[in-house]
């Protein structure tokens, strides 16, 4: 059986499963569409939350970024993991107890203002659309390779699949689909990692293999990797980060942005009780840890395999001839995600860091520039091929990558849909629409969101994980502070909340636009911006933490010089933080 047929079998089989589940669990009411009827078991909800959480950025792009950047890019892993703990500990139980299943609904009621609700809707849509672009980008990458089509065609196929099961099933269909997707993605991620860990280190568990000896050289794996990349002009894989301020701010931005993204928050309303929401959070952390503990090993082993594939006799020897390049490079070249340009005309593939510091060594070797351009998002997907693993493993990881991208895309689209239909149309424009009309508007708005995300995903502002990081920064600057102040401060009033969200959002978006050159304007994306021009060396991906601080300061400042919230609101805030006697914040 050909590799294409195997890929089609795995991908097609998994998609058929998702669509069957969506039909079986089709939502028939707004409660089923928004929160799956509120009857999901905590373990299943934890598994669905993990699938919702571990997006294309986690499955496809995070290991690729760590692989290329080494320790410096481990901030993605630390920020996302810490953010989930922050969400589970500080926000989820209280929001679940408050009883409002959308973020704008909570903000509108807590700050007793339709204006606050509308600002929250705007912030949610901007953050979620940016986030879903990263998922569609990842899905396009996976489809383009494994179905042997262009990345744009892959993106359109992904959009059609998401439309079929997300619009049909709503949260009820998405929940049970995500349970299946978690099983697919975690098996797809760990099996190749186990194979590769055994090949390189004779160690069965990849996290342990990361700190074991490299079989061929007999030295520790990370030491071997440092030696290889150093010989090619790259910074040591384990090298420390120079700009500590930017690293701290970036990690913080990912953490608080994670806690502010609505597609995971809404999952805690799909279980029957507040206690179940806490159990769901714990189970989700267990399921997430399986992939996140494996990712650093996958990243380092992928980087070493890539380098030794190009330089089979070591980095100081001749590179492989282009005409003798391995099949995996030929396969990925068809997608346009690997490109070769023979700059010195020697017929070989030179892969090195084309930097001034390495220029003399490169000239001595007859190299005239880096000749191989490898998209970061392909490393995890290409890993089985690089390591010459069986064809069924390649097909499995194809299904897993698509499951990761589509599961989070579905959750985000539902958050966008509920914000438009429930919070904007029913909450502000026309409160008297029927449940049937609201369900129709929810499905229409989800369909429109898919179209917009697909169009923007054809020219994203970077790799999947970088695009997602922008979304987290926007959520960090706008939504997270409002949620925290809404739960833990009785003094912040509606005016403070509105001006805080506006200030944080505007500051963050302006900074991103000025220094990144992209804000929903396809064709102007460039991550090759100039770091020395950043204010205090703070990158556009890290600015969300500063935006959040501005949000807090403005909200508390405006609230201090304006009237206090009504006594009923202050009592409500107080009641939400106690286990019993929640008053109007009922457990339903």
Q: What are phi and psi of 270, to 5 degrees?
A: -90, -5
Distance of CA 319 to the CA centre of its chain: 35
Q: Summarize pLDDT for 452-473 with one digit per residue, the tens.
A: 878 877 776 554 556 677 788 8
Whether residue 150 is predicted with pLDDT greater than 80 in this model: the reply is no
Alpha helices (H) along 458-521? 464-488, 494-516
* b (16+ CB within 10 A) / e for 252-274: bbbbbbbbbbbbbbbbbbbbeeb
Quote the pLDDT of residue 183. 87
Read off the pLDDT of each residue in 327-355 and give the average, rounded to a whole number.
Answer: 88
pLDDT in the model for residue 490: 92
Q: Is residue 582 part of a domain?
A: no
Residue (of 403, 393, 401) closest to 195 by Cα position: 393
3-state secondary structure of 272: coil
Q: Which residues contact 394 (CB under 8 A, 6 or more apart)?
A: 3, 6, 7, 146, 384, 385
Torsion region of 566: left, alpha or beta (phi above 0 gives left; psi -120 to 50 gives alpha): beta
- Number of domains into which the chain is organized: 1
Is the residue at 27 inside a domain? yes
Share of the chain above pLDDT 90, in %: 26
Residue 372 placed within a domain: no
What percent of the chain shows pLDDT beyond 70? 89
Q: Is residue 584 part of a domain?
A: no
Element (H, E) at 582: none
Domain assignment of residue 334, yes or no: no
Cβ atoms of 346 and 366 closer than 8 Å: yes
Q: Cβ contacts of residue 189 below 8 Å, gap of 6+?
A: 59, 291, 294, 298, 380, 397, 400
The DSSP letter of residue 463 is S
Asked if residue 369 is part of any domain, the answer here is no
CATH number at residue 123: 1.20.1730.10
Which two structure tokens, joined as six digits, stand for 141?
């990458």
Helix then strand then coil, in percent of the chain rounded to 5, is 75, 0, 25
Q: What is the pLDDT of residue 585?
A: 41
Residue 241 CA to residue 110 CA, distance in Å, equals 41
Residue 343 lies in a domain: no
Segment 213-233 mean pLDDT: 93
- Rounded to an integer, the average pLDDT of 346-367 is 89
Q: Determine the pLDDT at residue 98.
A: 81
The answer to whether residue 357 sits within a structural domain is no
Asked if pLDDT for residue 525 goes beyond 80, the answer is: no
Q: What domain range includes position 243?
A: 3-305+384-576
């Amino acid at each position: 059986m050909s590799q294409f047929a195997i890929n089609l079998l795995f991908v097609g089989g998994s998609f058929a499963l998702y669509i069957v589940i969506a039909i079986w669990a089709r939502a028939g009411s707004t409660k089923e569409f928004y929160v799956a009827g509120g009857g999901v078991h905590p373990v299943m909800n934890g598994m669905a939350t993990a699938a919702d959480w571990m997006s294309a950025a986690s499955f496809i792009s995070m290991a690729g970024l760590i692989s290329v950047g080494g320790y410096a890019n481990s901030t993605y892993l630390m920020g996302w993991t810490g953010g989930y703990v922050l969400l589970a500990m500080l926000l989820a139980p209280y929001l679940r107890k408050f009883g409002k299943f959308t973020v704008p609904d909570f903000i509108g009621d807590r700050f007793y203002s339709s204006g606050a609700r509308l600002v929250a809707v705007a912030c949610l849509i901007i953050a979620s659309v940016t986030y879903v672009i990263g998922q569609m980008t990842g899905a396009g990458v996976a489809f383009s390779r494994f179905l042997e089509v262009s990345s744009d065609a892959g993106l359109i196929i992904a959009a059609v699949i998401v439309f079929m099961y997300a619009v049909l099933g709503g949260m009820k269909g998405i929940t049970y689909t995500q349970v299946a997707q978690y099983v697919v993605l975690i098996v797809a991620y760990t099996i190749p990692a186990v194979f590769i860990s055994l090949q390189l280190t004779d160690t069965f568990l990849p996290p342990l293999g990361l700190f074991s000896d490299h079989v061929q050289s007999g030295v520790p794996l990370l030491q071997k990797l440092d030696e290889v990349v150093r010989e090619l002009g790259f910074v040591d894989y384990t090298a420390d980060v120079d700009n500590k301020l930017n690293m701290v701010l970036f990690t913080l931005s990912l953490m608080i942005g994670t806690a502010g993204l609505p597609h995971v928050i809404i999952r805690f309303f799909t279980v029957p009780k507040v206690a179940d929401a806490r159990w769901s959070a714990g189970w989700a952390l267990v399921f997430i840890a399986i992939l996140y503990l494996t990712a650093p090993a996958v990243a380092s082993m992928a980087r070493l395999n890539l380098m030794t594939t190009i330089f089979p006799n070591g980095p100081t020897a001749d590179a492989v001839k282009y005409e003798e390049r391995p099949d995996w490079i030929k396969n990925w070249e068809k997608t346009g995600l690997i490109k070769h340009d023979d700059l010195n005309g020697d017929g070989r593939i030179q892969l090195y860091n084309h930097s001034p510091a390495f220029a003399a060594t490169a000239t001595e070797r007859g190299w005239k520039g880096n000749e191989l351009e490898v998209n970061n998002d392909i490393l995890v997907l290409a890993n089985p091929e690089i390591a010459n693993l069986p064809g069924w493993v390649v097909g499995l990881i194809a299904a897993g990558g698509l499951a990761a991208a589509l599961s989070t895309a579905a959750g985000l689209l539902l958050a966008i849909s509920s914000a438009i239909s429930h919070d904007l149309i029913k909450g502000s424009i026309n409160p008297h629409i029927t449940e049937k009309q609201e369900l129709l508007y929810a499905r229409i708005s989800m369909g429109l969101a898919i179209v917009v995300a697909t169009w923007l995903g054809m020219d994203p502002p970077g790799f999947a994980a970088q695009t997602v990081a922008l979304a987290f920064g926007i959520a960090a600057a706008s939504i997270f502070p409002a949620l925290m102040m809404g739960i833990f401060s009785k003094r912040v009033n509606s005016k403070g909340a509105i001006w805080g969200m506006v200030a944080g959002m505007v500051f963050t978006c302006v900074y991103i636009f000025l220094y990144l050159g992209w804000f929903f304007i396809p064709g102007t994306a460039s991550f090759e911006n100039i770091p020395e021009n950043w204010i205090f060396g703070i990158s556009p991906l890290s600015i969300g933490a500063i935006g959040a601080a501005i949000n807090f300061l403005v909200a508390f400042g405006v609230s201090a010089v304006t009237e206090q919230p009504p006594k009923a609101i202050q009592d409500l805030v107080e009641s939400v933080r106690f286990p019993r006697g929640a008053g109007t914040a009922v457990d339903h």
